[in-house]
Every structure is written in structure tokens, then in C-alpha cells.
A and B are shown apart, each in its own frame.
Chain A
Amino acid sequence: MSNDVAIVGIGMHPFGRTEGVTGMEQGAHAVREACKDAGVKWEDIEFAFGGSAAAGAPDTMVSQLGLTGLQFINVANGCATGGSALFSAVNTIKAGMAELGIAIGFDKHERGAFRVNTKGAGLSDWYGASGMALTTQFFGMKINRYMHEYGISHDSLARVSAKAFRNGAKNPMAWRRKELSEAQVLESAMLSYPLTQYMFCSPGEGGVAMILAPAESAHKYTDKPVFLKSAVVRSRRFGSFEVMAPHIALEHNAGPTVDASQAAFEQAGMGPDDIDVAQLQDTEAGAEIMHMAENGFCEHGEQEKMLAMGETEIDGRLPVNTDGGCLANGEPIGASGLRQVYENVLQLRGEAGGRQVPNEPKTAYTHVYGAPGISGVTILSR
């Protein structure tokens, strides 16, 4: 018996800023949309894994959706929260414990850069007091070192941002839907050298939900099931360079993304060349560039040429962040990873509208990265 798992319904609340609607209400909206998409009722769902970093305990949303008594487990795993909810839901079905489950992610953050809870992150007060508890600094420092080592230019950073906003303009669910030129990106305020304002995503709001079923029963719910070939989450190993690190070791480790990516490809029995479309964590423009290589899609430094040639555009050799990524959608931490999967389901169904990847993509890849050095990867196929 195959124990593959299928995504049979997806739902989303638009990303961005929605005044007067709580993060949890956005999550509940996404759940209702996913149920509609799968043609099921909330009471049909046997279990839920829900994640939110700043918008309340997810399991309390049952008071909005209906008190059906289902098994509802909250997941909190930083930027990999959505990926972890999905991982948990997938494996619950694989284990044969249930037939119909849902993974939910939502969030709503205050404006401006993330306020870091240094105590919660296991850091001493002096670290934040001294002005070092800022995720933006890590991203600036990682890409600055990477540019130095591999010859990536400031223009490449701007190309990534311009592409994100171009793709976001074609996505009705995106927050930032206005195209920006590379010059506008480069000339915006320098927030954390070499990264400017429009090279960073902003904490935001949104909700995503997806309904999962065993592959053999997927056709009961949808004529376009999308199958999860792998869902992997990895934490950091000794020597990797991560966000919020008062020290890093002298010896070097390539980081959790490389580990998660290799494990996901192995599980799926595929390699990077088999992937038709990819959503890669783009907290900022440099992250997308580095993650192209860390996920195995190119060699370090090769990105410079790939971006100049447009290879990661929607009609390119490897379309990356076709929905505008975090840069155009913002980052509601609990929802971000599931947004990537949502976009890939649309792409594989051929329902991505003005941003549809041509030639009927068959395989799709998602990658999240975040504090305190975790990475989540999924590979989907139809």
C-alpha cells in the first residue's frame, strides 16, 4: 500500500495589512476556504496542526470554526512553524492515524522590524541592550560575507527585489503589488548594509490552510491532487552561521538549509534538476540568492549570471518565488511557509493565473529558513 499523502484543499486569507481583522480570524477564513476547495465540512476534519507566532494560541480558533472535538495541536517553531505544522500533519496521515487533516498557519505582527524576545531566545539582556538583537543585522552580515566570497553584486540584490515586486503585482493575494525598478530598490534607505529598504520583507499578516488526505482517497475531494513527496525540517549543526548568534565557531558548517534540502531530495528520489518551480525563503534579497545555492539549484556565485539572464523569472529555466515571495507578501511567521506550498499547489494545478509557470510544471519545491537556525523543505508533485 502506498502511504503517499495528498493536498486536497487549500485556502488563504490575503497577505498584507487587514485592519480590524485579527490574525486568528484570518486563519479561520483560510480554513473555510480550504474546506470549500476540498468540498468538505469543518466537522469532517479529524485533526489539525496550527501555528502562529504572535496572533494567539491556534487551537482556540475552534470557537470560530465549530466545536467538533477534533484533535488540535499547536505548533511553534519560529519561521519553520508552517512547515512544521505540515510535517506533523503529513506524518499523522502516513502513520494511518486519520484520513483527513488540516495544517493551518496565521499571524499578525506589529509594524517595523521584529522585536526580539531575547530571553525567549536564550540570550542575555546585554545582547539586546547593546543593539545586536536584530534579525536584519544577520541578513546584512551573511550576504555581505557571501558577496565578498563569491562575487555577487549589489545589482543582483536589486534584481531579486524587482522580480519579487513584478511577480507580486500579478498575485491578487500579495501585499506589495506595485512594481519597483532596480534603481528604486538600490536608492531606497540603507537599513542594514548592503541591504536597502526594498530588499527586505516586512513582518505582516495573513493566513493559510491546507487539507491533507491519503493519496489513494484524494480523488474523493479533488480532481487535481498534489502529492507531498517530502517534508523535512532540520535544525542547525555546529559551525553554521545563524541569526541571533553572539558567537560562531571558527570551523564551518554549511547550515540547516543544506541538510534539509539534501534529505528532502533523497526522500523524494529526485534532484535539483527535476524541479520545475521553487519558492525559496527571501527574508531579504540576498537570502534568495544564497538559498538558490544552499538548496542545490546552482553553485555558489553562479547566481550572478543566472539573475542577469533572467533564469529565475516566471518564464525562466527555474522560476523562483513566483508569488512574489516574502518580499511582496510580507512575513506573517506562522503562515509564511504554508504560503509557499499554497503557491506551488496553484502552479501544479495550472491555476496560478497571470503568474502561471508555462509548460505545465510537474514538480515544485519550497524552502523556509529562520531563527534560531532552522530550515524546512517540501517537494510536491502532481
Chain B
Amino acid sequence: MAQVPVDDGVITSIDDPRLIGSRCNTCGNHMFPTQGSCPKCASTDTVPIELETVGTLWTWTVQGYPPKAPPYLGDADPKTFESFGVGYVELPGQVKVETRLTESDPEKLEIGMEMELTLVPLYTNDDGDEVMTFAFAPTGHSNSNGASS
């Protein structure tokens, strides 16, 4: 069974995943996902870039009930649904990205903790491939900066 990304153009590859964002060549603003115009300066001169893979948790919540499906493609069966964390991870000098988190225990999530990009399985598609989406996982390293602004 192969693993495939949830969509084209979101991550670089399954084996060495990086999030693909955009940088504005005019003002330096970063965006995710890719965007052809800059919301900061309205320039249309943007280029795709690979975003940082390590950042800090800016805020978080836990999805405690099955999302409506569609649009959700993961397990939405109330009998087997498992809560998952969602947060914004601040990538240094770039942007805060909204992401699933591998951790869903409120006791183990803390604003300011260091997080690293990974992939998690969503569902198995009609070809028998495992469809993967991106998530961030706690690195376990303490972040001396604490909560960011």
C-alpha cells in the first residue's frame, strides 16, 4: 500500500515533506498555501517556497466531535471517531500555519511548545493508497523563548 498526499501542491513529497507556501517578492510576506497575490501589499509577484519544518505552537484546540463528511475525509463515524488536535504553528520569520496536531490531550499541549512537521493518515482511497495530510508533532524540546507574541 502506497502513501499519497491529500492534494497536489501542499507538501513537497511523502518521503521528505515540506509545506509549500509562497513568498512575496515585493514585500517579503509569506503565505500558505501558495497564493498568486499578496494580501499585504497586493503585489502579484509571488514565488513558491518550502516553509520551515519546526516552529512553536501559537494556539490550539481539540476537535472533539466528528466533522461533517464531506468535506471531511477522515473517520467521521461517531462510534470510532478519535479526537484530534488542531492549532497554529508559528514558523520563525515566515507565517503561522493552521495544522492538525498529532497530540490531542489538553494536558500535553501548551502554547509556546516546539513543534515539528510530520504526516498523518486520513483515509484509504479507492486505489488502496493511504492518503496522508500534514500535521505537527511536539518535538519534546523545551523552547526557551516560551510563548511567542
Report A's interface with B, CB cutoff 8 A. 112-113, 115-116, 118, 124-134, 137, 140-142, 144-145, 148, 189-195, 238, 245-250, 252
Q: Could you tell me the distance in whole angstroms from the C-beta of A112 to the nearest C-beta in chain B?
A: 7
CA distance A250 to B21 in the complex (A): 14
Contact A137-B61, Cβ < 8 Å, known A246-B33, A247-B98: yes
**Leading 8 A-B pairs by shortest Cβ distance:** A128-B71, A140-B61, A145-B59, A126-B7, A247-B32, A130-B133, A129-B73, A193-B62
Contact A128-B70, Cβ < 8 Å, known A192-B61, A248-B96: yes
A-B contacts, 24 of them at CB < 8 A, read A113-B65, A127-B71, A129-B6, A129-B7, A130-B73, A130-B133, A131-B67, A131-B86, A132-B99, A133-B71, A141-B86, A192-B64, A193-B62, A238-B39, A245-B98, A246-B33, A246-B97, A247-B21, A247-B31, A247-B97, A247-B98, A248-B98, A249-B39, A250-B96
CA distance A134 to B40 in the complex (A): 25
Chain A residues positioned under 8 Å from B58 (CB to CB): 145
B61–A193 CB distance below 8 A = yes
A134–B67 CB distance below 8 A = yes
A128–B72 CB distance below 8 A = yes
12 A-B pairs besides A113-B65, A250-B95 with CB distance below 8 A are A125-B7, A129-B72, A131-B72, A131-B100, A140-B61, A238-B39, A245-B98, A246-B32, A247-B95, A247-B98, A250-B93, A250-B94
Chain A residues positioned under 8 Å from B64 (CB to CB): 189-193
CA distance A127 to B58 in the complex (A): 19
Chain A residues positioned under 8 Å from B94 (CB to CB): 250
Select which of B29, B60, B100 is within 8 A of A141 by beta carbon: B60
A248–B7 CB distance below 8 A = no
Residue of B nearest to A252 (CB): B149
CA distance A62 to B149 in the complex (A): 52
Residue of A nearest to B87 (CB): A141
Interface size class of B (residues with CB under 8 A): 35 or more
Select which of B39, B63, B71, B88 is within 8 A of A129 by beta carbon: B71
A131–B62 CB distance below 8 A = no
A248–B88 CB distance below 8 A = yes
Report B's interface with A, CB cutoff 8 A. 6-7, 10, 21, 29-33, 39-40, 58-65, 67-68, 70-74, 84, 86-88, 90, 93-100, 106, 111, 122, 133-134, 147, 149
B6–A126 CB distance below 8 A = yes
Residue of A nearest to B97 (CB): A247
Select which of A115, A124, A131, A194 is within 8 A of B63 by beta carbon: A131
Chain B residues positioned under 8 Å from A137 (CB to CB): 61, 63, 86
CA distance A113 to B88 in the complex (A): 21
Chain A residues positioned under 8 Å from B10 (CB to CB): 124, 126
Chain B residues positioned under 8 Å from A245 (CB to CB): 98
Chain A residues positioned under 8 Å from B65 (CB to CB): 113, 189, 191
Residue of A nearest to B71 (CB): A128
CA distance A15 to B114 in the complex (A): 45
Q: Could you tell me the distance in whole angstroms from the C-beta of A129 to the nearest C-beta in chain B?
A: 4
Select which of B61, B68, B84, B100 is within 8 A of A144 by beta carbon: B61
Residue of B nearest to A112 (CB): B68
CA distance A128 to B13 in the complex (A): 20
